[in-house]
Structure 1
Amino acid sequence: MDDRWLQVLGLVLIIEALLPFVSPRGYRQAVQQIANTPDRALRAIAFVVLVVGAVLVMLSRH
């Protein structure tokens, strides 16, 4: 595996762990809100995040 992929994976893990580390109560509330969000809204949000992520990756390669 390329070193960059390991760096990216490590950064993702760090970012994902920040909220539960800093504010466990806030994290639980956020997870509960997500659990109550309709599937259609979650898919729409996930699609936007995927597109933004893909654009950022493409811009970083130039």
Structure 2
Amino acid sequence: MQDLWTALCLVAVLEGLFLFVSPGGWKRTVEQLWQLDDRQIRQLGGLMLVAGAAALWWLRH
């Protein structure tokens, strides 16, 4: 359970870093996401999910 909290904290740190370093770039990215349909966003989310799970598996084994 501690690993889960550590991972969530790391996500928060990385998200905050992106917002701190490049707020304009973050805004442009969000504007582009608004223009995508739900199917495209779902596919992107699925791709990120699979990539993250594969990377986690690779790091742990």
**TM bracket, shorter-chain basis:** 0.7 to 0.9
Distance 2:14 2:37 in 1: 25
| Percent of aligned positions that are identical | 34
> How many positions carry a matched residue from both structures?
61
Distance 1:58 1:18 in 2: 25
Q: CA RMSD in A?
A: 1.4
Gaps of 5+ in 2: none
Gaps of 5+ in 1: none
More helix as a share of residues: 2
Distance 1:38 1:18 in 2: 27
Distance 2:7 2:35 in 1: 30
So what's the TM-score if we normalise by structure 2?
0.81
Distance 1:35 1:15 in 2: 22
Structure 1 runs (4+) greater than 6 angstroms displaced: none
Give 1:33's aligned residue: 32
Deviations 1:7-50 (A, max 9, x none): 21111111111221111121111111111111111111111111
Distance 1:9 1:20 in 2: 17
Give 1:58's aligned residue: 57
So what's the TM-score if we normalise by structure 1?
0.80
Give 1:43's aligned residue: 42
